[in-house]
Amino acid sequence: MIPGITTLPNLLRASLSFLFTWINMYQREAKIQAWVNLQSAKAEAQFKNLEEAHKLLQSADKAFKELAVEFADKAFKDLEFFYCLVI
């Protein structure tokens, strides 16, 4: 016989107590795992947003460089034209 448990109701009570303790531990582990999964999903979503923003910035940078080249080319041609008029 188990020390401190002398009757069947006490044994049943101890068994139920153990069962409820195990269930609580299992639920706690499930909640922790759900929280970890949620944090992982949030981090992945944030990373995807950062990737998209980076691609957008690269695209804008490329467009600005192309505009700058076009502007510089036009300005240079205008300067050549005015230079020819002066000479």
Span 25-72, pLDDT tens digits: 999 999 999 999 999 999 999 999 999 999 999 999 999 999 998 898
Tell me, rounded to whole angstroms, the distance of Cα 30 from its chain centroid.
Answer: 22
pLDDT band at residue 16 under the 50/70/90 scheme:
confident
According to DSSP H, which parts of 1-87 are helical? 8-86
Residues 6+ apart with CB under 8 A from 15: none
- Tell me the C-alpha distance between 48 and 43, whole Å: 9
pTM beyond cutoff 0.75:
no
Taking a C-beta distance cutoff of 8 angstroms, is the pair 36, 48 a contact? no
- pLDDT score for 32: 96
- Cβ contact 11:5 at 8 Å: yes
